[in-house]
Structure 1
Amino acid sequence: MLLAIDAGNTNVVFALVANENGGREIKARWRIATDPRRTADEYAVWLSQLLSLEGYDRSQVDGVIVSTVVPRAQHNLEVLASKYFKTDALIAGKPPVEWGVAIDVDEPASLGADRAVNTIAAHALHDGDLIVIDFGTATTFDLSDYNGAYKGGIIAPGINLSLDALVAAAAKLPRIAIEAPASLSVIGRNTVDQMNIGIYWGYIGMIEGLVGRMKAEVGRPVKVIATGGLATLFEQHTNVFDTIEPDLTIQGLAIMWERAHITP
């Protein structure tokens, strides 16, 4: 099986991916807070316990692929692969797993690995011009054309980051959970409701407004794909998403592995 690792700014996601009955299946997934100081040994202890709880062991993993936007985390993940899984980790975007798609922007090298991987996965799963919205530490909007070329996008503060900044800057505002408001009213009657409305409906307004402007600029039909843990939360009150792909980055890593002609 393949161990796909997506190291983001907030969390590192580990997923076991198997090819069974001609299809790709994610057998298990786990996440841990991103800490560049975490050693390969610490990862191994934590991951070995979780593998065991799911009925697997390290010997069943014969391949590792990593996507990271945290350069300092890469080395320890490579050591984890070599020391505990007896294989060299492949790094997304580097030989033999280059992107394989055109990165048509002013500074291609500055594109986050997760965004490139999402683009690859989105076009393997869907046809045409695509916008991928990824709800992570930042909320990113990525446009790719019908040929699969990455054409650019938008970076906005993630909703949790926005809420943290609001609470940190305003002494009397409480920390609240991010959830869909119980009422469709946008006139709050108390502080907590007003904050919830501002964060939730304000974010939906941003999403719909930015997607609308992107579609108008493209001038052709565009499918919108959402990914990330909060996508389903916003889906309740907007029809801007055509589909939700919760494991888009992991799927992209598995696709890149397969395209390198290595069978997990």
Structure 2
Amino acid sequence: MLLAIDAGNTNIVFALFEGQEIRTRWRIATDPRRTADQYAVWLVQLMEIEGIRSSQIDQVILSSVVPRAVHNLTVLSEKYFGISPLIAGEGVAQWGIEIDIDEPRSLGADRAVNAIAAHTKYPGDLIVVDFGTATTFDIVDFNGAYKGGIIAPGINLSLDALVGNTAKLPRIAIEAPRSDSVVGRNTEDQMLIGVFWGYVAMMEGLIARIRSEIGRPAKVIATGGLAILFDKHTNIFDAVDAELTLEGLALLAERASRA
């Protein structure tokens, strides 16, 4: 059984794979100070609830955009599962795709993993939109090469900045506005319209510009927690694939096992 660990800026996701299928997953807030022992107390208990023994884990792969978290997650794997984890992008878990940008080493592991999974699952030129702490737009050509992308503030970061830098604006939840009108009648509605429809307009505008620059048809694949919410209010996505990052890690681990 494969344990895939995706360490993001906000959350760390632990997923167990049987073959290429996700059996179960758990999420915990990212905290670089959390020790391997603290992870183990939490994770092993959750595994036991699902009837899974530590001895059933025979492979671990780790992807992280938080360098300080890598050491403790590596110790977790070695101490509690007896396995040296694969590190996505390193050793036998190298990307295996062309990273065609000015500084290939600067590409976040999650974005490279998304590119691998997207190219494996969808043909042609692709634009992968990942809704995380930041919202990223990644361009993958029909040969599977990563060609570059865009980094924008995530919608929650945008809202935090708005509320945190104004004296009277209230905290609101991210949700679809109650109507399609873009003229709000009260403060909360006006904020929600600005954040939500403003974000939709940003996505649609950037994707239109990317497609124009590529000069060929390109499918748009959305992933991340808010993808489903936005998919209901725009027609720019060709597919919403919530498990793209985890599936990319599983593909990397499978390749590494054959190396």
Q: TM-score range by the shorter chain?
A: over 0.9
TM-score normalized by the length of structure 1? 0.97
CA RMSD of aligned residues (A): 1.0
Q: Structure 1, residues 129-152: CA drift from partner, whole Å, max 9, x if none?
A: 000000000000000100000000
Aligned partner of 1:176 in structure 2 is: 172
Q: 1:125 aligns with which of 121, 125, 138?
A: 121
Aligned partner of 2:85 in structure 1 is: 89
Q: Which residues in structure 2 correspond to 1:1-264 (within 5 Å)?
A: 1-19=1-19, 24-261=20-257
Deviates more, 1:249-258 or 1:45-54: 45-54
Identity %, equivalent residues: 68
Q: Which amino acid aligns with 1:33?
A: A
| Displacement of 1:171 | 1.2
Q: Which amino acid aligns with 1:28?
A: T
**Alpha-carbon distance between aligned partners in 2 of 1:42 and 1:261, rounded to the nearest angstrom:** 29
**Alpha-carbon distance between aligned partners in 2 of 1:54 and 1:176, rounded to the nearest angstrom:** 36
Q: Which amino acid aligns with 2:93?
A: V
Q: Which amino acid aligns with 2:225?
A: G
TM-score normalized by the length of structure 2? 0.99
Structure 1: segments with no counterpart, 5+ residues: none
Deviant stretches of 4+, over 3 Å: none
Q: Structure 1, residues 98-117: CA drift from partner, whole Å, max 9, x if none?
A: 00000000010100000000
**Alpha-carbon distance between aligned partners in 2 of 1:198 and 1:110, rounded to the nearest angstrom:** 32
Q: Is the partner of 1:261 in helix, strand or coil? A: helix
**Alpha-carbon distance between aligned partners in 1 of 2:188 and 2:52, rounded to the nearest angstrom:** 44
Q: Structure 1, residues 168-210: CA drift from partner, whole Å, max 9, x if none?
A: 0011011100001110111000011111111110000000000
Q: Structure 1, residues 6-34: CA drift from partner, whole Å, max 9, x if none?
A: 00011101000111xxxx11011111111
Q: Which amino acid aligns with 1:34?
A: T
| Displacement of 1:157 | 0.1
| Displacement of 1:261 | 2.4
Structure 2: segments with no counterpart, 5+ residues: none
Q: Is the partner of 2:209 in helix, strand or coil? A: helix
| Displacement of 1:262 | 5.3
| Displacement of 1:50 | 1.1
